[in-house]
Structure 1
């Protein structure tokens, strides 16, 4: 009798309230989901169903992908990956107007393909790129805005932690999601570079030129990153072509990162202890979040809320394009006050059926949702990347960082619209490789 859409909606509102009051996302999802199941099904069925969810998650083979990619990121971080990637990009384009901002975007893309985290990418590349840009006379707004926006590439460019979590929650192929993210990730990076080009064309003083590096210096910079680039190509290419599964690719990546750190003389007991500790801590937190999200998803499904919302959207008769635009606006509004992972885990069980009715596949929705989630990282007032950058450049007022990210935010909206209008951006490459 209690399994009604109204109960599901109350659960969603309660979850939002708990998140806004600062309760950890995994605990909030699990508590609301379990409590809702108790109300709807009763205590014993709720405990049994939740127990089944926990066992299913803990025995998922795909879950091994996450800690291995996290370990790979920790080992590359110890090997100074962010500094070397930015330095190589700066050697090739730093002499151009706005060149160090281009290099920051390139460094974020490179490190994001290793790290898979928006916040970590913004922080680590920011610590390297921001001092260089400010020392060479770059405008604070352009410098901080480019790194804050570039950091979001860590969520899209494979291997992406967000896509791994989505794949587990939505029961979709992680390898297909990684392949689908390649073109959106590249076009996102190119749009950011176009923004920089436009900004420095209109106001050249914001991104002054630097001295041109010699080809010998460029060669030395490439020599410091060729091993990392080869490892990234093997991991992403192996998954895309189908040579290896995501779990196997993660194992190869972690082993390769271990070897690279050893060859570079960065491997020692203290570093390994920190790398393993960080990997285990982050993996445990994400595992708790996944379990909580799946319990919450079961609760929402039992109440019939997704079906009711789908019927309400159909009643509006907006058509496929109108429905997707409405969902985009909803995600952007919610993303301005919620953490990105919370946005993904809250909305996936509710919106996925609606998106399917609009004619889009779960793979496309995973890319679309991740892209909307990325925008939340740079969208005021929450915009976690903006505050991370302020933590790196403590003397830059937050309003300057907000101002600097606005042109990039505009390009984000354009990119999200392009993904809606041209679904092939996400679906063509997996289909082509699959054939």
Structure 2
């Protein structure tokens, strides 16, 4: 036990960071550093026993089934043309206004993000639909690409969020509470993006020409095409918030509903089912590997006492709640500029969660906070994965123009994150109301 020291934990943390920078998969990095560190700290036999217990306990957790079921629901909706229908409905309702297609893109990202739960998938899918429409109608490349890149980040901030499910498992927090807590931050983030578009098109009207007004009959048909999906989402999310059923039960209901809707639309066949099942299994397997690795790594960090040492050092500085949270936010944004979003969450949660709790903030709030910081990393240069996804969709748009287009939205993200620090009730009020 002489090697179970904070210094050992720090060395393990630096080694993990180096492996991630060299491109080693995050699940492999977390697992190798975690098991290797436990061997150094506890000895080989104790380390293997501890790692085995973690694997068994993780894989037998009931709530772990939530993630693949929600992912299967998303793949089925994708086969049913959910992204195109959601964007088309938003475009028909507000596309005639100046900047209307940009608003529609944000609305489409919010709608598809609440189905899909993935920022990258939301940006790519809505980008394929919205970018050609906006560019064809004379929208500037910067506004079009920046809107979709930023709007894609709504994928993790609106339930069912894959990031919040992962956080709930590794931090042992209620997924239902997390889903309820993220509603106000997610909706307010969407409104912030709409406000940015409103400011930009009034400052420079030429970047977003006025479009044609759709008739009420066309609007009605567009809304009718998404009514079934919206009803299912209302049942699934409303049931979680109101406590009618657990997130695991909600994911089952959502998947069954998605199967019925896909069949009703005539899109359900053997090929669609095979593709949906294979993509769900592949992605779920990778995420389960990451979760197991993260929990083993968290055990290693806990055994070394690094979390206590860091927490005591921060407490000794006596900065107060707001300054401490600002420092934590700065650290998350700094790491988020060079790390993948999920890597950021899994790397920092074991270290920063105890610090946040020591200054009086709840783990539920921190889950929303770290997810929000993680999402900013998706549009924060130089990594900014959403930016590269958008460039893959619009290959003729230079990357520096996409960077320039996303900057106003990035500024609104930083203001939104500051408000989350200053007003924690943004995340905590709804769970307290509904008694989650």
Is the structural similarity TM-score above 0.5?
yes
Superposed, which structure 2 residues align to 1:197-216 within 5 Å? 197-216=198-217
Q: Tell me which residue corresponds to 1:320.
A: 321
Structure 1: gaps of 5 or more residues:
none
Please, what is the CA RMSD of the aligned residues? 0.6
- 1:192 and 1:168 map into 2 onto residues whose CA distance is 30
Structure 2: gaps of 5 or more residues:
none
* 2:91 paired with 1:80: no
Superposed, which structure 2 residues align to 1:281-296 within 5 Å? 281-296=282-297
- 1:400 and 1:318 map into 2 onto residues whose CA distance is 40
Q: Tell me which residue corresponds to 2:54.
A: 53
- 2:233 and 2:419 map into 1 onto residues whose CA distance is 27
Secondary structure of 2:378's aligned partner: helix
Secondary structure of 1:171's aligned partner: coil
Residue correspondences, number: 435
After superposition, what is the alpha-carbon deviation per residue over 1:4-31, rounded to whole angstroms, capped at 9, x for unaligned?
1111011111001000100000000000
- 1:126 and 1:235 map into 2 onto residues whose CA distance is 26
Q: Tell me which residue corresponds to 1:338.
A: 339
Q: Tell me which residue corresponds to 1:94.
A: 95
Deviation of 1:76 (Å)? 0.2
Q: Tell me which residue corresponds to 1:422.
A: 423
* 2:148 paired with 1:154: no
* 2:110 paired with 1:109: yes
After superposition, what is the alpha-carbon deviation per residue over 1:280-306, rounded to whole angstroms, capped at 9, x for unaligned?
000000000000000000000001111
Q: Tell me which residue corresponds to 1:63.
A: 64
After superposition, what is the alpha-carbon deviation per residue over 1:234-255, rounded to whole angstroms, capped at 9, x for unaligned?
1110000000100000000000
Q: Tell me which residue corresponds to 1:373.
A: 374
- 2:58 and 2:316 map into 1 onto residues whose CA distance is 36
After TM superposition, where is structure 1 displaced by more than 6 Å over at least 4 residues in a row? none
After superposition, what is the alpha-carbon deviation per residue over 1:311-333, rounded to whole angstroms, capped at 9, x for unaligned?
11122221010000000000000
- 1:112 and 1:235 map into 2 onto residues whose CA distance is 14
- 1:326 and 1:316 map into 2 onto residues whose CA distance is 12
* 2:254 paired with 1:246: no
Q: Tell me which residue corresponds to 2:256.
A: 255
Q: Tell me which residue corresponds to 1:407.
A: 408
Secondary structure of 1:225's aligned partner: helix
Secondary structure of 2:182's aligned partner: helix
* 2:140 paired with 1:139: yes
- 1:199 and 1:88 map into 2 onto residues whose CA distance is 23
Q: Tell me which residue corresponds to 2:169.
A: 168
- 2:299 and 2:6 map into 1 onto residues whose CA distance is 13
* 2:265 paired with 1:264: yes
- 1:298 and 1:317 map into 2 onto residues whose CA distance is 27
Q: Tell me which residue corresponds to 1:35.
A: 36
Q: Tell me which residue corresponds to 1:364.
A: 365
Q: Structure 1 length normalisation: TM-score? A: 1.00
- 1:308 and 1:322 map into 2 onto residues whose CA distance is 19
Q: Tell me which residue corresponds to 2:303.
A: 302
- 2:388 and 2:300 map into 1 onto residues whose CA distance is 34
Q: Tell me which residue corresponds to 2:188.
A: 187
- 1:185 and 1:11 map into 2 onto residues whose CA distance is 34
- 1:13 and 1:142 map into 2 onto residues whose CA distance is 39
- 1:403 and 1:167 map into 2 onto residues whose CA distance is 35
Deviation of 1:232 (Å)? 0.7
